[in-house]
Amino acid sequence: MSSNPSKEPETAATEQLERFGLSTYAARTFVALASLGTGTARDVSQVSEVPRTRVYDAVDELHEWGLVDVQQSSPKEFWVISTETACRRFERDFQHRADTLRTALGELEPAEQQAEQRGVWTVNGRAAVTDRTLEFFTTAEEEIVYMTIENLLTEDLIDALSEADERGVSIKLAGVSSDVQEQIQEEIPGATMFESLWVWSDTSAGRLMMIDGRKTLVSALVNGEGASVSDPRSETAIWGEGETNSLVVVLKAIFTWQLDSAEWD
Amino acid sequence: MSSNPSKEPETAATEQLERFGLSTYAARTFVALASLGTGTARDVSQVSEVPRTRVYDAVDELHEWGLVDVQQSSPKEFWVISTETACRRFERDFQHRADTLRTALGELEPAEQQAEQRGVWTVNGRAAVTDRTLEFFTTAEEEIVYMTIENLLTEDLIDALSEADERGVSIKLAGVSSDVQEQIQEEIPGATMFESLWVWSDTSAGRLMMIDGRKTLVSALVNGEGASVSDPRSETAIWGEGETNSLVVVLKAIFTWQLDSAEWD
DNA sequence: TGAGAAGTCACCCGATTAATCACAAAAAGG
DNA sequence: CCTTTTTGTGATTAATCGGGTGACTTCTCA
């Protein structure tokens, strides 16, 4: 939603630092010091857009994080740790947070949740849809039927399919061109290809999937099929779970028909 | 400064989620849904402390993150992804941010920075001091002299010393008890131990270090040497760099005297 | 048709923070 | 030694954001 590669590195760095929890002044000060290496409040104020009198607060904040050291002289001088050390520090800090979160969440989960028989859920955004797809792949026990346009068949999806294949899950794939098929066959030896009866790529459909005949997902590219493929927000999906779930019933009918009438590879 | 292990998991999880950029309502909603699995606005409002009318906003926010799916019915029902998937998602997202930051910072660094001859820098906090120590260890080329109280000789420091040892850096260690010495000798075969003339552990000193005779650091435990050792904020250090740096000059004199008069192991 | 629940919207208020200013202490320079 | 500039600290203001509450419409079900 934000990080633009064509931006000046100062802006990009500042933005990321802010998202890590630094104030804008602190972020800008850090970036300024990162290029200066060492400097006084005035130096920092000049290269960054931070008011001189606020540099001191910003440095205090950075000092709290252990990112900047202060020389008690007049004028005070400020020193930054190497950018690489800073990045590693953030990574370490974050990993710690993630671990804390994981254990905390693991200690919850008392309420038992049974699969919903009724209801159709919506998912927005390329990343979220892919995530859901991956999650469903990993829960598959017997069969995965998956139709997709080729752009959406990314490496991580293939990996998950390959993993399922090794787990003994039967995999049926459609929608990919014949040259890609060969390549897939190598990575997922157990996969079966089938031709879609529809001219799949001409519709605005994205993926269509069924897991164990009881969990289905279908997605569409909301802005048509053109340049929007690169737009991560352009995909919307709905999914449902349970033998009697309406979406599941409908899609199961379609898929069964497809699989029966399609030519097999 | 915050994460307390003895806290209820709900609070801990909420706190972490907030630090990842979620609003408090969104965080609490997520935690509620994580234990419910699925639920309506009222359900969420009851188990969490979120006003019912605001659950919708919170869910919107979570939906943006791809953490929650929404069923368009009345009442609306909300579904969360598995906690494990959520954690992985955060980790992936964060790694991406860290990479962005790293490249952005890497594209800066135009101003050349030479080692400061003058000035003494201050560092506060256990983690920051350790970080600085590690950084200095890695830049060592010839010699590391390091006195420390035993509590502060953590595994990562030993690793860094061991790495320096393999790089051919001469290592001189003091302050550790004789039984720990043996264990250290195994991990860092090239290390030389020497006895401190002071009763090191009775002072409030923490570490004392010299790198290549031109970079020094000394730390103190600010609240005495008792229970404060466990308090990460209780350590303060100063350091200096350069042949003529005053701190370096002083410490070099001390160390040389120490090394000359001490008994060798 | 009416009661209650569900969903949406708008508003208030307090906290945070960016931004500016005023002022005292300290260097610098004649 | 005094003046001027620079430096550091603190107070103040303005604006934004987010938590909290309630009004109001819509929907569901008896």
How large is the average pLDDT for residues A95-99? 91
**H helical segments located in chain A:** 9-19, 24-36, 41-47, 52-65, 83-106, 126-139, 155-166, 178-187, 246-261
Q: Please name the nucleotide lying closest to A54, CA to C1'.
A: C19
Distance A110 CA to D1 C1' (A): 79
Per-residue pLDDT of chain B (265 residues; tens, 9 = 90+): 444 444 677 888 999 999 999 999 999 999 999 888 888 888 899 888 889 999 999 999 999 898 998 888 778 889 888 888 889 889 988 999 999 999 998 887 665 555 565 677 888 788 888 988 998 999 899 999 988 888 888 889 999 999 999 999 999 888 777 788 888 888 898 888 887 655 555 556 788 888 998 888 888 776 644 444 556 557 888 888 877 776 777 777 766 666 565 544 4
C-alpha torsion sign, points A187, A189, A190, A195: positive
Assigned token pair, B119: 């000035």
d(C-alpha A42, C-alpha A172), whole Å: 65
d(C-alpha A90, C-alpha A9), whole Å: 18
Q: Please name the nucleotide lying closest to B40, CA to C1'.
A: C6
A250 touches chain B (CB under 8 A): no
Could you tell me the domains of chain B?
Answer: 9-84 (1.10.10.10), 121-261 (3.30.870.10)
- Is residue B149 within 8 A of residue B207, CB to CB? The reply is yes
Burial B41-69 (b: 16+ CB within 10 A, else e): bebbbebbebeeebbeebbebbbebbbbb
- Is residue A226 within 8 A of residue A110, CB to CB? The reply is no
**Cβ-based neighbour number of residue A21 at 10 Å:** 15
Q: What angle do CA A107, B24, B49 make, to 5 degrees?
A: 70
Q: Which residues put CB within 7 Å of chain D, the nucleic strand?
A: A 40-42, 53, 56, 73-76; B 23-25, 49, 51, 53-54, 74
Distance B188 CA to D17 C1' (A): 53
- Is residue B225 within 8 A of residue B207, CB to CB? The reply is no
Determine how β-strand B68-71 pairs with β-strand B121-124: unpaired
Burial environment of residue B170 by CB neighbours within 10 A (0 to 12, 13 to 18, 19 or more): middle
d(C-alpha B224, C-alpha B149), whole Å: 13
**Cβ-based neighbour number of residue B243 at 10 Å:** 13
Task: Tell me the chain B residues in contact with residue A245 when contact means C-beta distances shorter than 8 Å.
Answer: none
Q: What is the pLDDT of residue B7?
A: 62
B177 touches chain A (CB under 8 A): no
Is the per-residue pLDDT at A229 higher than 60?
Answer: no
d(C-alpha B135, C-alpha B215), whole Å: 12
d(C-alpha A82, C-alpha A20), whole Å: 17
d(C-alpha A135, C-alpha A156), whole Å: 11
d(C-alpha A33, C-alpha B109), whole Å: 9
In B49-68, the residues whose Cβ lies within 8 Å of chain A are: 63-66
d(C-alpha B161, C-alpha B130), whole Å: 13
A66 contacts B131? CB cut-off 8 A: yes
pLDDT tens by residue, B99-140 = 999 999 888 766 555 556 567 788 878 888 898 899 899 989
Q: What angle do CA B22, B23, B26 make, to 5 degrees?
A: 80
Q: Please name the nucleotide lying closest to A75, CA to C1'.
A: D7
Q: Which residue of B has its CA nearest to A81?
A: B132
A92 touches chain B (CB under 8 A): no
Assigned token pair, A179: 């040259």
The whole model's pTM is what?
0.72
